[in-house]
Chain A
């Protein structure tokens, strides 16, 4: 066990692009309420696409929020390589980015899309084009785009150069099959090229089967 740990650390200490995302003994509850989950341990390697499914209300979304720094774990820790990232929420760009099911609830309705998409970094036109974003959308307001168009903007916003992992929480559940396939084809292209690891949270077993290298089972 010790040896394995050392080998892991050696592998994880070098190139920042080769560091895994790990959760160790994660648990979460609100205040003194009941535990939503405890003892969740997982690892996602760079460039790996991992699926997570399961009944509603068991904490899949909360796990995603802990991994991407939106919430603090009540116990346990989140590591990128050997560095604890579950307590560094205000230290600039978070290396783990999350994209939510409802894009319209994830953007400021009073900002134009140009400001929204460049909230964390400055994507250039060729990057936007790769995600199927038309440059003339950028002068519009969020309520002038469809759900699929707005979700592309949220994905572009989350895929800055410092993004090492992406949490896709029912990212295309509200979209029709054609838009879903378009978006995933674009995202797969980018994450493969940049060796970004992805956690796909979904109820759609066919989608998970299509996308994922492996499934996380028995977490909760």
Chain B
């Protein structure tokens, strides 16, 4: 059973258009996926597709002018704002982007001890520092004294001692040297292997593929594809959505070939498929309505042209996805 399920998640924010009027702009919509216990799911996608907002929505820490709708379930139980607040840091933990999320005036050992749920915070913190190769004196350091790699280990320690079953990591590896990236990701894999559900939000596709079981691809605020990590290989022909293939083929190690155009801005989304204006497979039907997420070859895709080898017509509507609307 999935530990974390997200259904029809939508996030919008209110902004002032001029001195006189406000407008509501949708930034995430129809986001659907789940994370099982023991699984690492990567979320990748276009810059500005709402990846970080997704993490914040799942933790219930969106800024004040944002609002979310849809269903988030933990062990099958729907979470409302109140329940989310109770679970935060206990059942669901965030590993944030950088040390800037730590209190700059508090020693890092003390900050990690705050998250311990057991009887002996000191023992738990020292054990986790030892496990992650942090020297005993690290606990008395302030965040500014840590190197990038040490900071990552401290941030992961916080999630580890909390005993959370769902771990959400938001861009855990930017600016790190290759060795530190591998180490940081290995820690997430270990959490999953110990029975946690781990969600890693990143744009470092190549690195995250070494630990991920499945990959969620976001474009213009929605999930366009959910694929087994093994499908990201070769020329990308096993991927289901044209955007996922384009993203894969644009990597410097895979051809470095860009498709033209830009992702539509929130508030300026086209009426049909959001990728249609840039898609070389787009047909008139693509502009009629937003495609539903449906199952194709052990993955899911939001494209009417995707089909499995055995189903040339490509009309296998996914029952699970239309459940609980």
Contacts and interface: CB of A to CB of B under 8 A. Distances in A.
Interface of A: 54-57, 132, 146-149, 170, 173-182, 184-185, 203-207, 209-211
A112 B47 CA distance: 22
Contact of A203 (B49, B175, B262): B175
Given A132-B262, A176-B250, A210-B252, 15 more contacts: A54-B177, A148-B48, A173-B174, A174-B203, A176-B203, A177-B248, A179-B46, A179-B258, A179-B262, A180-B252, A180-B258, A181-B250, A204-B252, A209-B252, A211-B252
A56 B177 contact: yes
| 10 smallest beta-carbon distances between A and B, as pairs | A181-B258, A206-B253, A177-B250, A206-B252, A182-B258, A210-B252, A146-B48, A181-B250, A178-B250, A207-B252
Contacts of A211: 252
B267 to A, nearest CB: 10
B256 A179 contact: no
B46 A176 contact: yes
Contacts of A180: 250, 252, 258
A178 B252 contact: no
19 contacts: A54-B177, A55-B177, A56-B175, A146-B47, A146-B263, A147-B47, A148-B47, A170-B175, A173-B175, A174-B47, A177-B203, A177-B250, A178-B250, A179-B47, A181-B252, A209-B253, A210-B252, A210-B253, A211-B252
**A interface secondary structure, majority:** helix
A181 B260 CA distance: 10
A185 B252 contact: no
B252 A147 contact: no
A141 to B, nearest CB: 12
B314 interface: no
A64 B246 CA distance: 32
A56 B48 contact: no
Nearest to B246: A178
A59 B263 CA distance: 35
B148 A57 contact: yes
Interface in B245-266: 246-248, 250-253, 256-260, 262-263, 265
Given A57-B148, A203-B176, A207-B252, A178 B203 contact: no
B115 to A, nearest CB: 26
Given A173-B175, A203-B177, A210 B47 contact: no
B98 to A, nearest CB: 12
A56 B147 contact: yes
B178 interface: yes
A71 B46 CA distance: 34
B178 to A, nearest CB: 7
Contacts of B263: 146
Contacts of A177: 203, 205, 247-248, 250-252
B243 to A, nearest CB: 9
A56 B256 contact: no
Interface string B108-138: 0000000000000000000000000000000
Nearest to B206: A206
Contacts of B259: 178
A179 B203 CA distance: 12
B45 interface: yes
A206 B253 CA distance: 5
A176 B265 CA distance: 15
Nearest to A58: B177
A210 B177 contact: no
A210 B256 contact: yes
Contacts of B251: 177, 206
* Highest count of chain B CB atoms <10 Å: which of A170, A179, A181: A181
Given A56-B148, A206-B253, A176 B47 contact: yes
B154 to A, nearest CB: 16
B65 to A, nearest CB: 14
Contacts of B148: 56-57
Contacts of B265: 146
Nearest to A146: B48
Given A181-B250, A206-B251, A146 B262 contact: yes
Contacts of A57: 147-148
Nearest to B266: A146
Contact of B47 (A55, A175, A209): A175
Contacts of B177: 54-56, 203
Interface string B17-53: 0000000000000000000000000000111110000
B247 A176 contact: yes
Contacts of A170: 175
Most B-side CB within 10 Å, residue of A57, A176, A203, A204: A176
